[in-house]
Amino acid sequence: MGGGFSYQLSDFEDTILEDIALKPNNDGICDGKSPTDQDCVDCDESDDENDDEFSSIDVRDYIDQFPFENLVFEGGGVKGLGYLGALKLLDEIGLRKKIKRCAGTSIGSISALVAVLGFNDEELDEISRKNLGSFLDVGKWRIIYNVFQYLGWQNFTSFYDYIGTLVEKKLGNKDATFRDLYEKTGRELCVVVTNLTVLHEEYFHPKTTPNIPIRLAIRMSVAIPGLIQPVKCTVNGQTGLYCDGAVIMNYPISCFDGWWLSMKSEDSFLQRLHPLEDLPKILDRRNKFARDEKTADKTLGFLVVGLCSQEI
């Protein structure tokens, strides 16, 4: 998968395990247990003693050395609101101004949107305080009927309208398209959606779906099966039923690798989709999003997990 770092977690496993083993429990005995398995140790006094040369480093002094140009946000339900705090930190150190592309799945697509549109700290705070319950437009008494009739309980109309207000605030049109955003800001947004008709993920982007309204793509991407109704939509001449991108691709970390979403002229569909006999190979995901070691470190991915999560 692309967008990773040149180092691996395994390079640090020995150091991490050694550090855990040396942490004392409340009796001052090293038992090798993780801090999550015992009461927290009061480290206030030792913190001052363990200060080293890194404590005085200001990351902002080295911001030009970071290669990141792309941000990718995993889907994660309500906990994905934590991404907004991460965006505020990127602003604080001056990294967000270097970002050219943002992508996300499900609730991660909302973070990708506000990141690429350049919402400031105050606006991010306002968005984070939004009551998600206000988007539940349909009462409980309609659950069974709506699930059988529309394949989902909530129609999420108020959410669709809310995303429209966010888009309109920055682009002047609540139905602004992916192309509109790219032409006005020079930045790219990618929203990952699941096409239930063909059981495949699709990448909504100024290259692949230039004329699709951004808020429509995000409405599709957050359509959790059973809870939120999927959306029937015609995309590039093909009509399909679209739902939560996390069904197939929850963490599109490699979406900006390869040629598929590249806006370079040499990577246009006209240049890439030939010879026709090689189309199956050309359109294989491993080729569309092929890792390039020269650019793979430009993507910074975000996940929100708990300490006990198996994703760690």
Q: Which residues are catalytic?
A: 106, 244
Residues 6+ apart with CB under 8 A from 208: 202, 236, 260, 261
Quote the longest CA-to-CA distance of the chain: 71
SS3 sequence of 23-36: CECCCCCECCCCHH
Give 102's strand partners.
71, 189
Reported in sequence order, the residue ranges of 156-199 that DSSP labels E, i.e. its strands, are 188-195
Q: 177: which DSSP letter?
A: B
Indicate left, alpha or beta for 156 from its phi (over 0: left) and psi (-120 to 50: alpha): left
d(CA 52, CA 209): 50
Reference 83, options 59, 101, 53, 104; nearest CA is: 104
Reference 73, options 107, 117, 38; nearest CA is: 107
Question: Tokens representing 48?
Answer: 């001052």
DSSP assignment of 191-203 equals EEEEETTTTEEEE
DSSP assignment of 89-132 equals HHHHHT-GGG--EEEEETHHHHHHHHHHHT--HHHHHHHHT--G
Contact (CB, 8 A) for 57 and 42: no
